[in-house]
Structure 1
Amino acid sequence: MSIELIRKPQQIANPLKALEAAAAGLEFEMERAGEYELHVMLPGVWRDIGLWFTWRPELATLQMGAPLDLKAPTGRVDEASRLVVMVNERLWIGHFDLWAEDHSIVYRNAALLTAEGGLDAVQGEALIRAASEAVDRFYPAFNFLIWGGKKPDDALRASLFETQGNA
């Protein structure tokens, strides 16, 4: 007689449910775009921020993006790429990309989760807040480069300017 182990299929928790709970707790608008995609709209300092989340259960990966709705002009792609590198050196979580196809600038982040898809509302809120802080902090740098005609060093320096005290 032999003993055969039977593996039960694991229930994979969809982390988008935790993100929905986090967004609801922060009172942000959201829309489910299918079983594996969630869109969240949050107010930003410079503009509203549209986040998208995509869950890939077969990879146990949650991907997030926040397009800035800014595109580098063809003649300034090298300068925009340099600014992306300079900005990314200052980020601890996530990164900005300059997409090759249309030169749009996007904040991105990803989370590798357990095979069960574990994510709680606190982690979801941290992902949302990290995106919001990165976009709010560095949107002006990309705007100064693209619309203000500044060089990458000057655009970054201008965006990192912080006032002291209150007027």
Structure 2
Amino acid sequence: MMGNDEFEQDGQEAEPLDMLASYFEANGWTFQQNGEDEISAKIPGSWAQYEIRAIWRQEDQVLQLLAMPDIRVPEDKRGTIYETIGLINEQLWLGHFELWSSTGVVLFRHGALLGSSETLTLDQAQLLVEAALDECERFYPVFQFVLWGGKTPAEAIIASMIETRGEA
């Protein structure tokens, strides 16, 4: 793995997982390499601690980023959460939420096609991670309203998307 000093200038490139490791380290986030093609980090958010996993598929030149906001869906609420995810995904430009049927875990997934250079810049690493975290932060309350607040998916989205203005 390369040191942080090699990534200080914009435009620097490195292998995707090395660049992500440097980005995580620069932010003081706990991370670990999970083999040659995967890295994971724990990142604090406003609503929860998020686990970010990046998986590099060299044969496809794709970096897949998963953000897991620590939401587990009980079996009896999965139908409602599938509806919720459908409504949320209609609002997303990049990436999507999904529910893993085997574990009931909600996650955000995005894939980045890096092309033949097979490198990632610091700016790209930051954009990928921040975009995933922003979507998790934005929609975490929606899932909570549906799971624990008794709201319908449409009601939860309306309640969560109210923008506050001014200061208290």
How far apart are 1:115 and its partner, in Å?
2.8
Contact 1:22 1:122 in 2 (8 A): no
Q: How does 1:28-67 map to 2 (within 5 A)?
A: 28-67=29-68
Give identity over the alignment, percent.
35
RMSD between aligned alpha carbons? 1.5
CA distance in 2: counterparts of 1:125 and 1:67, whole angstroms: 17
Larger radius of gyration: 1
How far apart are 1:159 and its partner, in Å?
1.3
CA distance in 2: counterparts of 1:20 and 1:72, whole angstroms: 30
Equivalenced residue count is 155
Query: For residues 61-90 of structure 1, what are the alpha-carbon distances to aligned partners after superposition, in whole Å with 9 as ceiling and x for unaligned?
Result: 111112222233323222211110111122
Return structure 1 stretches of 4+ with deviation > 6 angstroms: none
How far apart are 1:40 and its partner, in Å?
1.5
Q: Which moved more, 1:120-129 or 1:154-163?
A: 154-163
Contact 2:48 2:70 in 1 (8 A): no
Structure 2 unpaired stretches of 5+: 1-13
How far apart are 1:36 and its partner, in Å?
1.0
SS at match of 1:72: coil
How far apart are 1:33 and its partner, in Å?
1.6
Query: For residues 103-158 of structure 1, what are the alpha-carbon distances to aligned partners after superposition, in whole Å with 9 as ceiling and x for unaligned?
Result: 32111111111233121111001001001100111011001111112110111111
Q: Which moved more, 1:72-81 or 1:91-100?
A: 72-81
Contact 2:100 2:106 in 1 (8 A): yes
Q: Is 2:164 aligned against 1:163? A: yes
Contact 2:49 2:70 in 1 (8 A): no
Structure 1 unpaired stretches of 5+: 1-12
TM-score by length of 1: 0.85
Contact 1:71 1:146 in 2 (8 A): no
Q: How does 1:85-124 map to 2 (within 5 A)?
A: 85-124=86-125
Corresponding residue for 1:7? none
